[in-house]
Amino acid sequence: MLRIGMLTSGGDCQALNATMRGIVKTVLNNSEEPVEFYGFEDGYRGLIYGNFRLLSWADFSGILSQGGTILGTSRTPFKLIHEPDENGLDKVEAMKQTYSKLKLDCLCMLGGNGSTKTANLLSEEGLNVIALPKTIDNDTWGTDITFGFSSAIDVAAKAIDDIHTTASSHGRVFVIEIMGHKVGWIPLYAGVASGADVILIPEIPYDMDNVIKAIEKREKSGGRFAIIVVAEGAITKDDAKLPKKEYKKKLAERMKKYPSVAYEVAEEIANKSGREVRVALPGHTQRGGAPTAFDRIFATQCGVEAGKAILEGKAGFMVAQRNWKMVRVPLKEVAGKLKLVDPESDLVQEAKFMGISFGD
C-alpha cells in the first residue's frame, strides 16, 4: 500500500486543485500497488492537529478549472514553528507523529517561501517531503515560474484595463495598488500588459519627483489621464536607505494615516501636480477565480513530476521549471531564499524603452 499525504499552505491561489489532481492522476494511473491519499485540512495545521480526510478519486474529478483549494489553507509562520502552541504542543513533533501514525510514504506540500522552509525542516527531520511552488507572487527561488502567477497577472491586468475607460472619461490620474509586499512581479507584468505609465515596485526605489515628471510628460503629449501601478511594498529612495527597524517603525506610523501605500502616493501626486487623483485596489480578487490555461498546464506538469518522483521513491526537493524544463531542486537550496525582480532584466529595460517610468 502506497500512502500519500497532501496539504496546501499559505495564501490561496488559482491552480492548487489542478496541481493536486496532477499528482493523484499520475500516481493512480501508474502505481502497481494500491494507493491511499490523505488530505490535511487548512495547511500545516491539519498535519499538526491530525485533521485530515481520506480522499477518493471523486474528490479530484472536475476540479482542474476550480480556483482555491478543496483542502482549505492557512498560514503557519516558520518563525513560530518551534514555539509550542497555547496548550504547550510541540508543533514539529506533532507533525512527525501524524506522518508516522498514517504510515505515509510521502507528503506533498503546495506552498510558497515560508511553507517551503517548513517543508525543508520536516525533510531534515527524516520525513519524505516534496514541495510544489505555489504563489501568485512568483517569488519562490529556484523556479522560473510558480502556479498562480499567470492567473494573478490576468486578474490584475483586467482591473487596470477597466480603470482606463473611467480614467480617460474624467481625465484623472489613477493609482492602482497591486499585490506584492516584497517583490514586484505581478505589478511589473500586469503594468506592462495594461499599458501603465508608471510602475512602482519594491526592487526599484522611487523618487516622487520622477513620478510627477512622468505624469507631466504624458500630459504635455496630449494624454488626458495617467495610470500609476503601485506594488504594496513600493518604497521611496529615502526610505530604502533607512535601517530595517526604522523603516518598520515608519510603516507603522503611516498605517495610522493611510490604509496602504497607494493612498500615500495618491495624496503626494495630488499635492505636487494639482491633478485629480483616485485610488483603486483589486485586492484579493487577484487570488481568486479560475486558473488560466497556462496555470492549469504548469500546475499539471508540477503534479505529474511530483507523482513520478513518488513512484520512484524520491523526495527532499521542490518541483520547478527552468528554461521550460521540469526539474527537481533540493529543498535545502530553496528554503529561505526570495526571487526578486532584477532591475536590469529585459522586461524592465524594455518597459523603460516604451516610456514607462519606474520613478528611479
Active site (catalytic) residues: 137
Task: Report d(CA 310, CA 22) in Å as an integer.
Answer: 12
Amino acid at 246: E
**46 CB burial (10 A radius; 0-12, 13-18, 19+):** buried
CA-based nearest residue to 5, from 92, 127, 88, 121: 127
Task: Report d(CA 337, CA 142) in Å as an integer.
Answer: 9
Name the pairing type of β-strands 325-330 and 317-322.
antiparallel
3-state secondary structure of 194: coil
Question: For residues 298 and 15, is the Cβ–Cβ distance under 8 A?
Answer: yes
Question: For residues 331 and 120, is the Cβ–Cβ distance under 8 A?
Answer: yes
Question: For residues 227 and 164, is the Cβ–Cβ distance under 8 A?
Answer: yes
Q: Measured on CA atoms in the order 141, 143, 148, 152, is the torsion positive or negative?
A: positive
**Separation of first and last alpha carbons in the chain:** 59
Q: What is the dihedral of CA 349, 353, 356, 360, to 10 degrees?
A: 60
Q: How many CB atoms lie within 10 A of CB 322?
A: 12
